[in-house]
Structure 1
Amino acid sequence: MCNESEEEMTQLLLSLKNVIDGRDRGSPLFHSHIWLDGAFDTKTKPESNTLSRNALQLLGIVKSVFDVSLGNEPPGTVSYRFETKKTRYGRRFTWTFYDLNEELEDVDLNVHLKDNRKVKKKKRWSQIMYLSYIIDFLCVKSAKRTGLDVDEILKDTFILTTDADVKFEFASVEALLDVFLRDETKQLGAVCARTHPLGSVANPLVSYQIFDYAIGHWLQKVANHTLGSVLCAPGCFSMYRTAILKNVLPEYGSDTSCGTEFLYKDMGEDRWLCTLMTRCLLRQEAVILTIFKK
């Protein structure tokens, strides 16, 4: 996230809440992470740790949508635990939701507030941060706790990327995950879904956008899929296997040295990531699943 509107933030959080509420006993373990660029007010107060307007807005919407607070409540009165921690990149807020009947796995919502004075801003660097956080920290931590091999954990861990203006349901997440679970070779690198713009077709701009998105999926993505591999799994709603991402992360996190590199690394980061995955001779698939986009 960076400069999303209140409506977009609310839509994303409602989608995440649908995923949390839609789980059952057979559901896998979920973790939700939101990274916000420019979360600290460095313009009017350069030396302070005052949160920016966008950060305050996001935290306010989290409180409203999930009915949580920014503090610890007495045990037994709520179904979540709250934790806030100062980090090297800024600050992290974590709400861990647990089932009072102890039938479902705990699931947490993490809001990462990036301080542009400490880390690089923009979308690709946020992606590099959370990929490294999941691959090099969470999966390694899970391996130590369970005694399993970290490489096996990475093969069965998947990252769903989504834009803030995308509306999705729990069934959409399950559909992407199901494609991975049916891949016995575990060589499938990414799965993407069809994104459908919302809005009235009476508006010519909306009509053109609907046509453009339809061509992108039904012609380009389907043709790629038929020929062997989708060439670009859009970052707006795609799922990736972390074991594959680990192999390409060092090159994906390389700096830009000229204008051309800036265009394909920072302006087209999802295609750049998929290009690196394709170069590893890995497959990427498209599924006929409609995700709505504002």
Structure 2
Amino acid sequence: GKSQPNKYVTSFMNAIDKAASSIHGREITLDKPTKCITPYGGKLVWLLPGNNTLTLHLKDKLKIGCRKRISQLMMMYHILGFQLLEANDETSSDAYTDHTQGGTNIMPRYNKMKYNTKGEIFKDITERACFEAENTYILGVDVDTTFSPESILLLLQTMKKDPDLGASFGRVHPTGSGLLKIYQTFEYALEYWLRKAAEDKMGCVLFSPGCFSVYRGSAVMDDNVIRAFAQKPSAPSNFVQWDMGEDQWLSVLMIQQ
């Protein structure tokens, strides 16, 4: 039958005016969103005060997988493969699609040494797209994570200081009270400090948690990262590693590359 929005979509739509009013300190009623049909389901696009847009992507589980890794891939391909490359050059978008599907067509079109992009995919795109890929950042955050705008700015400043940096994240602290918080505080601190010796030797972190991390677009687009991240599991071990530990898997791919 016809797909219907679930209770989470309804709750989001009921709360958006209240959220906008809270941010601006006055009563705000947004215009109704633009509805679009997409290959994975649909999307709703709101025009916010200041002419910014807010897009809510709706997944139809009959058309696309329902796990978190699939959602992450959707956002990465939408931002990097559609918005970034399609906006710059149709040829760039085709090259990106060919490359992620195993294509080998190479068309050098810009001064490679000018940017910190080493992968084969970057030989196929325009100089402007390459520049934008280096300066496009994707924030991964869980719905139950509380943070301030200053936290995001700090991560962005860290990324801008070092063009070799593919991702950065904020240290996570549990909130709440009771025995569960005590256990989580111990667990997080133990894991955090035990990794420090190895990370000091390697010169980078071993894991960037998906609950609050910023990823550089060009690092995600690089060879053997998003292409490997998009593989379909063919064995039980793949399911455990790729679909139940998607954040660790993405971190491993970026470190290997």
Identity, in percent, stands at 31
Deviation at residue 224 of structure 1 after TM alignment = 4.5
Of structures 1 and 2, the one with the larger relative CO (CA 8 A, separation 6+) is 1
Q: Give structure 2 stretches of 5+ with no counterpart.
A: 23-27, 91-125
Distance 1:62 1:238 in 2: 24
Deviation at 1:271, TM superposition (A): 0.6
Deviations 1:102-122 (A, max 9, x none): xxxx43221111010111111
**2:17 is the counterpart of 1:63:** yes
Q: Counting helix residues as a fraction of each chain, which structure ranks higher?
A: 2
User: Unpaired runs of 5+ in structure 1?
Assistant: 1-46, 69-76, 100-105, 281-294
Task: Output the aligned Cα RMSD.
Answer: 2.3
User: What number of residue pairs does the alignment pair up?
Assistant: 214
Note if contact 2:141-2:212 (Cα within 8 Å) is conserved in structure 1. yes
Residue 89 of structure 1, CA deviation: 1.2
Is 1:211 paired with 2:165? no
- Match in the other structure for 1:37: none
What pairs with 1:1-294 in structure 2 (closer than 5 Å)?
A: 47-67=1-21, 82-99=33-50, 106-144=51-89, 149-183=128-162, 186-200=163-177, 203-220=178-195, 222-227=196-201, 228-247=203-222, 248-280=225-257
Q: What is the TM-score when the length of structure 1 is the normalising length?
A: 0.67
Question: Structure 2 CA distance, aligned partners of 1:223 and 1:267?
Answer: 26
Q: Is the 8 A contact 1:143 1:153 kept in 2?
A: no
Structure 1 contact 80–98 (Cα < 8 Å) conserved: no
* Distance in 1 separating the partners of 2:19 and 2:38: 25
C-alpha separation in 1, matches of 2:47 and 2:198: 40
- 1:195 touches 1:213 (CA, 8 Å); kept in 2? yes
Q: In structure 2, how many angstroms separate the alpha carbons of the residues matched to 1:59 and 1:217?
A: 38
Determine helix, strand or coil for the equivalent of 1:196.
coil
Rounded Cα–Cα distance in structure 2 between residues aligned with 1:108 and 1:51: 21
SS of alignment partner, residue 166 of structure 2: strand
Distance in 1 of aligned mates of 2:197 and 2:170? 14
Structure 2 Cα separation of the partners of residues 80 and 60 of structure 1 = 13
Q: Using the alignment, how far apart are the partners of 2:84 and 2:21 within structure 1?
A: 29
Spell out structure 1 runs of 4+ moving beyond 3 A.
77-82, 222-225
Change (3 A) 1:153 1:261: same
Contact 2:31 2:47 in 1 (8 A): yes
- In 2, distance between residues paired with 1:156 and 1:199? 36
**Alpha-carbon distance between aligned partners in 1 of 2:148 and 2:174, rounded to the nearest angstrom:** 15
Amino acid at match of 1:97: L
Provide TM-score, normalisation by structure 2.
0.77
1:167-215 deviations in whole A, cap 9, x for unaligned?
11110000000001111xx221110111111112xx1121011111222
Query: 1:81 deviation in Å?
Result: 8.1
Q: Displacement, 1:258?
A: 0.7
Q: CA–CA distance in 1 between the matches of 2:181 and 2:211?
A: 18
